Amino acid sequence: MNQSSVFYIKKFQHYRNNSISTFLDMATRMVHLRVGQIVFPGGKEVPHDTRKVYIQVLPAGDGATAPLSGKDLLLTSTFWSFRFYDPQDTYIVIVITETLQNGTPNEVCRLSLPLTWFTVNAVVRSAFPMITRTPDLGIPMAYLDVHITDTGALPFSAPLGPLLVTPAWKIPEGHSGYLNPQQPFPPVPQMHPQNPNPENSNEQPIIQ
C-alpha cells in the first residue's frame, strides 16, 4: 500500500469518527419544554380548539401545535421535545394563534428565547413576557419549564437550575405562585404525540 492510499484511509477514518461523534451528540442534546400557564389579559371565551400554541426550535425548523384551554389563563397538558445541535444559535419560538371564523389561524402573540439563557442539565422555571398585537389589553406572560440536556436524561428529571440572564421584566404577583421552587413536577417517561404539520410551520421568523 503506497503512502497516498494510507493518507486517504486515515482521512476517511477521521471523517467517520467525527461523523459518529456528531451523531451521538445530536442524539443526546435535547430541549424539553412545558407550558405551565399563559396569563392572557383580555382573553375571551372561544370555541374548543380555536386557540392554540405553536412551539418551534430554530434554525432546525422542527415544530408542533397543541390546543389551549381557558380564557384569561391558558393551559395545555402537552409538552415538547426537540433535538438541537449548537446552543449558541438555537432559539425557542412560541406563538399563540386564534382561528378566525373563516378557518384561518391569526397570530395574537409570540416569544423568542435563546437557548443560551438556560442552564444545561437542569430544569429552569421562569416567566417571560410575550410580544402582542394588542398591548393596550395587557402583556401576556408565559410561565415555562425548560429542560436542556446533553446526557439524554428523561424530560424534566433534572434538578431546578437558574435562568442565566437577569430579567428586565417584572412578574405579576398574582400569578407568581407557579414559580414556587417547592412545587413538584415528576419526570415524564414518554413523549406525547406531536403534530408533524403545524400551521405556518415555515413562516416563524426569529424575534430578538
Using alpha carbons, select from 138, 125, 139, 130 the residue that is nearest to residue 177.
Answer: 125
Sign of the dihedral through C-alpha 120, 177, 37, 187: positive
Q: What is the C-alpha separation between 50 and 143, in angstroms, rounded? A: 21
CATH class of 31-179: mainly beta
Chain position carrying cell 412551539: 55
In the prediction, which pLDDT does 27 show? 63
Q: What is the C-alpha separation between 63 and 199, in angstroms, rounded? A: 10
Contact 147, 123 (CB under 8 A): yes
CA angle 48, 186, 146 (to 5 degrees): 70
What stretch of H or E contains 54? strand 51-58
In the prediction, which pLDDT does 194 show? 40
Using alpha carbons, select from 78, 139, 148, 74 the residue that is nearest to residue 110.
Answer: 139
Using alpha carbons, select from 30, 88, 36 the residue that is nearest to residue 62.
Answer: 30
* 208 residues of the chain, pLDDT tens digit each: 555 554 555 554 544 444 434 444 556 799 999 999 999 888 777 777 889 999 999 998 789 999 999 988 999 999 999 999 899 999 999 999 998 888 888 999 999 999 999 999 999 999 999 999 888 989 999 999 999 999 989 999 999 999 999 999 887 765 656 676 555 554 444 433 343 334 444 333 333 3
| pTM for the whole structure | 0.74
What stretch of H or E contains 79? strand 79-83
Extents of the domains making up the chain = 31-179
Using alpha carbons, select from 79, 73, 81 the residue that is nearest to residue 57.
Answer: 81
In the prediction, which pLDDT does 189 show? 41
